[in-house]
Chains A and B, each alone.
Chain A
């Protein structure tokens, strides 16, 4: 058993169990914390796949920034156990496992029946970060710049959407 197989054998099941917990917990905070475990185990899988840069990005951006934002909002909205959403759609709750099983069956059959083109014989360069920088700031430079514009637009959009409306002051009765 080489290092990659050992990483997959340990991080894979952790990832799966945490993901199942993330979607089945009724408390959004437990769900978000379970998702954080999933994200970290995915970062470990990325390390096993020879992508240390992405593992770092995954921990810093996903496990750090995005999950902190999500948990911050969950705390801000003050989700208490009393007002957890009721299971008003029991049929849909039953459908959850069926949807997951059905979709996974379709995907698994597609993956196992399709013949992937043979793997490349050469390995990824060891100097991963420098090589990624070459690709990112070369072939994908336009996409990189577009992503920065997207982030700015999202930043402004989030502030505009989430701020208190001035109309609420003008028409206090309007909801």
Chain B
């Protein structure tokens, strides 16, 4: 397969995830969309690693997965705290800083 096919698939997944982040109002759905974007990027890293026979792309994808794990843990902690305060997981409800 040409590398471009993987890049296009990654671009499509990234665009879907970005649209999800912008349009969803449920914090958990937003997290799901963010995970999708991270995975789209991982796919391009692995495809580039194969194309140039360099393992660095795979190692970077490994670090992206690590950071994603940290991001999900903290993100879900925040969602639980917001749900406890506002009795809702709607991102529009957490607007106390609007002033």
What residues of chain A have their CB less than 8 Å away from a CB belonging to chain B? 4-5, 8, 12, 15-16, 19-20, 22-26, 28, 31-32, 35, 38-39, 42, 45-46, 48-51, 53-54, 57-58, 61-62, 65-66, 69-70, 73-74, 76-77, 79, 83-85, 88-89, 92-93, 95-97, 99-104, 107-108, 111-112, 116-117, 119-120, 122-125, 128, 131-132, 135-136, 139-140, 143, 147, 150-151, 153-155, 157-162, 164, 175
Q: Is the CB–CB distance between A132 and B58 below 8 Å?
A: yes
In the assembled complex, the CB of B4 is this many whole angstroms from the nearest CB of chain A, namely 6
Instruction: Identify 16 residue pairs between A and B in the complex whose beta-carbon atoms are under 8 Å apart, listed by A's number.
Output: A23-B20, A28-B29, A31-B29, A69-B76, A70-B31, A70-B35, A76-B80, A84-B26, A96-B22, A100-B19, A112-B4, A128-B55, A154-B71, A155-B73, A162-B78, A162-B80
Task: Tell me, in angstroms, the Cα distance from A84 to B28 when the chains sit together.
Answer: 11
In the assembled complex, the CB of A149 is this many whole angstroms from the nearest CB of chain B, namely 10
Q: Is the CB–CB distance between B39 and A28 below 8 Å?
A: no
Chain B interface residue number, banded? 35 or more
Beta-carbon nearest neighbor of A91 in chain B: B23
Instruction: Count A-B contacts at CB 8 Å.
Output: 239
Q: Is the CB–CB distance between B55 and A131 below 8 Å?
A: yes
Task: Tell me, in angstroms, the Cα distance from A22 to B77 when the chains sit together.
Answer: 22
Q: Is the CB–CB distance between B3 and A116 below 8 Å?
A: yes
Partner among B3, B43, B69 whose Cβ is within 8 Å of the Cβ of A65: B69
Q: Is the CB–CB distance between A22 and B89 below 8 Å?
A: no
